[in-house]
Amino acid sequence: MSEPGAVEPNTSEPGAGAEAPAEVAAEARHRPVLVVDYGAQYAQLIARRVREADAYSEVVPASMPLEQMLAKDPAAVILSGGPASVYAEGAPPADPALFEAGVPVLGICYGFQAMADALGGDVARTGLREYGGTLVELAEGGSTILHGQPSSQNVWMSHGDAVRSAPEGFRVTASSPGAPVAAFEDDERRLYGVQWHPEVAHSTFGQKVLENFLRRGAAVPADWTTGNVIAEQVERVRAQVGGDRVVCGLSGGVDSAVAAALVQRAVGDQLTCVFVDHGLLRAGEAEQVERDFVEATGVDLVVVDAVEAFMAALAGVTDPEAKRKAIGAEFIRAFEGAARELVAGAADDAGGEVRFLVQGTLYPDVVESGGGTGAAVIKSHHNVGGLPDDLAFELVEPLRALFKDEVRAVGAELGLPEAIVWRQPFPGPGLGIRIVGEVTRERLETLRAADAIVREELTAAGLDRSIWQCPVVLLADVRSVGVQGDGRSYGHPVVLRPVSSEDAMTADWTRLPHDLLARISTRVTNEVDGVNRVVLDVTSKPPGTIEWE
């Protein structure tokens, strides 16, 4: 998604896909481009690339029956890659009826092979595997999806099988040493396919391939823009809320701030924001919520001091999921207490019933929490899986269909301060899940001090926007021997987790300059009592998640 007339580059690498909520496309009023997930590492990335081309996309599982896919009235369908071989037992097939439905289809890698197999082409293991950067040669005679590209180009391959002959009616438009049919197309039926991964940055003209498919092959309009999203969500929120009152929890992060600003744009003073001071934020963040957000929006803000209640709820709790559930439940209890006061006030001034709770749920939250057919629960999100069954509010989730960079674009368009719009992602449960072990006041202060140093040094180095986030983790149940002040110490390690990503579905660890790491280590061990070791987490996602808990 971009500002009208602009396309913003993006290098996200999302992970496993899930079915998007059925109501998302209807609410957005855009015919979706469906990305059919065949178990690909990059299914979410394809969806992101489609949105970069200003078209709305949803990810659906390959197990979804064709009639359900077509019921979504897709503008186009993209078949993702996947780890299977089309001729192997149990391999997910492509329904041949899809290619007769009149919907433009693009097959990528496994999706390309599944399309070829379903339509009578020849797919086999040739013995010439191609992994990584590969040179492909375009055929003469022009091409719809390869239009405007050089005859030789570097692409990213990942296959052991290959299409040896194209189905009847298709024209071969590219080849490589290991794939005699590396791309084909049938313009009459608007069916296209490539063996390589155009969605990854290593495919030099990959985004052009996708844009050619969307514009030239499928005639999908470029109407997924920031302005349109704001207008549509404002209309949707007004229709959902009517004349009733809305409460929104400000967590200190960009998601809740943008969700609140968007809802306020829709319903004005029907919205009251509640900031629950649970004692789990980083240094200075509580003050920033109370000062900067209110100043920027003029929103009605209620502050609830719930530190004692949260500390009591977390006493003795060490299991990560139990922490998330405890924090989520306590968060809602604090809301309910504030809401009871709002209800009483609404009754006095006849201002409507307090029925709705705004949440900054994003699309990756829905996916990671198992929000759809075929999605595994990686961890319950505070915005999705951590809510109690007896929730007393109806949810308003204006960001549910968006990725993080889209949320930032919406926030900037709504006029929120840069300090809020570009704040690094921060988990709803706060520092409670960045302490491995029991959460105590002393441990929170230790982690807050170490985190403040890391953020200060990253800002001084000009790296705030070039990394996705840098969680600082306190291994509270681990101690290591050190030497401090000419004597033996027995302190805790602190873990730095700098990562590069764009929407958190996949991530790689960020290669920070060595001199910066040295400064951080020296300052943390010198200035933070009880910490005598700083270590660097160099694990990608997958296999590791970004947060440790």
Q: Among candidates 112, 155, 108, 110, which has minimal Cα distance to 136?
A: 155
- As a whole number of angstroms, the distance between CA 445 and CA 427 comes to 18
DSSP result, 200-211: STTSTTHHHHHH
Q: Considering only 104-108, 204-208, 487-491, which range has the smallest mean pLDDT?
A: 487-491
- Compute the residue count for the chain: 549
- pLDDT at residue number 44: 84
DSSP result, 100-141: GTT--EEEETHHHHHHHHHTT-EEEEEEEEEEEEEEEEEPSS
Answer yes or no: is pLDDT of 20 > 90: no
- As a whole number of angstroms, the distance between CA 223 and CA 170 comes to 30
- pLDDT at residue number 346: 59
Return the half-sphere exposure (C-beta side, CA atoms, 13 A cut-off) of residue 307: 10
Q: Considering only 184-188, 280-284, 377-381, which range has the smallest mean pLDDT?
A: 377-381
Place of tokens 């969806």: 47
Answer yes or no: is pLDDT of 302 > 50: yes
Q: How confident is the model at residue 29 (pLDDT cuts 50, 70, 90)?
A: low
- Spot the catalytic one: 19, 52, 58, 109: 109
- Spot the catalytic one: 19, 185, 199, 397: 199
Answer yes or no: is pLDDT of 32 > 70: yes
Neighbours of 156 (CB within 10 A): 21
Answer yes or no: is pLDDT of 18 > 70: no
* Mean of pLDDT over the chain: 84
Peptide bond into 83 cis (omega under 30): no
For residue 58 the two structure tokens come to: 């949803």
Answer yes or no: is pLDDT of 2 > 70: no
- As a whole number of angstroms, the distance between CA 526 and CA 529 comes to 8
Distances (CA, A) of 496 to 130, 263, 368, 482, 531: 36, 35, 23, 18, 13
Place of tokens 């940055």: 201
Tens digit of each residue's pLDDT (9 = 90 or more) over 140-169: 888 999 999 999 998 888 766 788 889 999
Q: How confident is the model at residue 526 (pLDDT cuts 50, 70, 90)?
A: very high
Instruction: Classify 177 in phi/psi space as left (phi over 0), alpha (psi -120 to 50) or beta.
Output: alpha
| Residue 130 identity | E
Q: Which residues pair with 481 in a beta bridge?
A: 490
Percent of the chain's residues with pLDDT above 90? 52
Asked if residue 351 lies in contact with residue 272, where contact means CB atoms within 8 angstroms, the answer is: no
- As a whole number of angstroms, the distance between CA 333 and CA 11 comes to 39
For this structure, is 278 an active site residue? no
Host H or E run for residue 311 = helix 307-314
Sheet order of strands, 245-249 included: 300-305, 271-277, 245-249, 354-358, 394-396
Place of tokens 């705030």: 464
- As a whole number of angstroms, the distance between CA 415 and CA 111 comes to 42
Place of tokens 């029956």: 65
Q: Considering only 10-14, 281-285, 500-504, which range has the smallest mean pLDDT?
A: 10-14
- pLDDT at residue number 425: 81
Q: How confident is the model at residue 391 (pLDDT cuts 50, 70, 90)?
A: low
Q: How confident is the model at residue 390 (pLDDT cuts 50, 70, 90)?
A: low
Tens digit of each residue's pLDDT (9 = 90 or more) over 316-366: 999 999 999 999 889 878 877 877 787 666 555 655 677 888 988 887 777
Q: Please enumerate in sequence order all residues whose Cβ is within 8 A of that of 133, keeping only pairs 6 or more positions apart, or say none.
A: 154, 155, 156, 157, 202
Place of tokens 């300059």: 513
Q: Considering only 9-18, 262-271, 505-514, which range has the smallest mean pLDDT?
A: 9-18
| Residue 402 identity | L
- pLDDT at residue number 378: 38
- Spot the catalytic one: 30, 197, 382, 492: 197
- As a whole number of angstroms, the distance between CA 459 and CA 527 comes to 18
Read off the pTM: 0.73
Tens digit of each residue's pLDDT (9 = 90 or more) over 417-451: 888 888 888 888 899 999 999 999 999 999 999 99
Answer yes or no: is pLDDT of 202 > 60: yes
For residue 469 the two structure tokens come to: 């986030």
Q: Among candidates 260, 258, 356, which has minimal Cα distance to 301?
A: 260
Q: How confident is the model at residue 384 (pLDDT cuts 50, 70, 90)?
A: very low
For this structure, is 199 an active site residue? yes
For this structure, is 514 an active site residue? no
